[in-house]
Amino acid sequence: GNSVTQMEGPVTLSEEAFLTINCTYTATGYPSLFWYVQYPGEGLQLLLKATKADDKGSNKGFEATYRKETTSFHLEKGSVQVSDSAVYFCALTVPYSSASKIIFGSGTRLSIRP
Amino acid sequence: DAGVIQSPRHEVTEMGQEVTLRCKPISGHDYLFWYRQTMMRGLELLIYFNNNVPIDDSGMPEDRFSAKMPNASFSTLKIQPSEPRDSAVYFCASSFAQGKYEQYFGPGTRLTVT
Closest CA to A31 of A50, A47, A56: A50
Preceding peptide of B25 cis, ω within 30°:
no
pLDDT, mean of residues A50-73: 96
Per-residue pLDDT at A41 exceeds 60: yes
Per-residue model confidence as pLDDT tens digits over B90-109: 999 998 875 556 789 999 99
pLDDT, mean of residues B66-82: 97
Q: Where are the beta strands (DSSP E) in B25-80?
A: 31-38, 42-50, 53-56, 65-71, 74-79
Q: How far is A44 from chain B (nearest CA, A)?
A: 6
Q: Which residues of B touch A (CB under 8 A)?
A: 4, 31, 33, 42-43, 45, 48, 50, 55-56, 91, 93, 97, 100-108
**For residue B7, which residues of chain A lie inside 8 Å, CB to CB?**
none
Per-residue model confidence as pLDDT tens digits over A8-32: 889 999 999 999 999 999 988 788 8
pLDDT, mean of residues B15-34: 95
Per-residue model confidence as pLDDT tens digits over A94-113: 766 555 578 899 999 999 99
Chain A from 8 to 67: CB within 8 A of any B CB: 32, 34, 42-46, 49, 51
* pLDDT recorded at residue A97: 58
Which is higher by pLDDT, A35 or A99?
A: A35
* pLDDT recorded at residue A96: 62
In B49-61, which positions are buried (b, 16+ CB within 10 angstroms) versus exposed (e)? beeeeebbeebbe
Q: N- to C-terminal Cα distance for chain B?
A: 36
Handedness of CA A57, A104, B7, B107 (dihedral sign): negative
Q: Which of B42, B104, B106 sits opposite A106 (nearest CB)?
A: B42
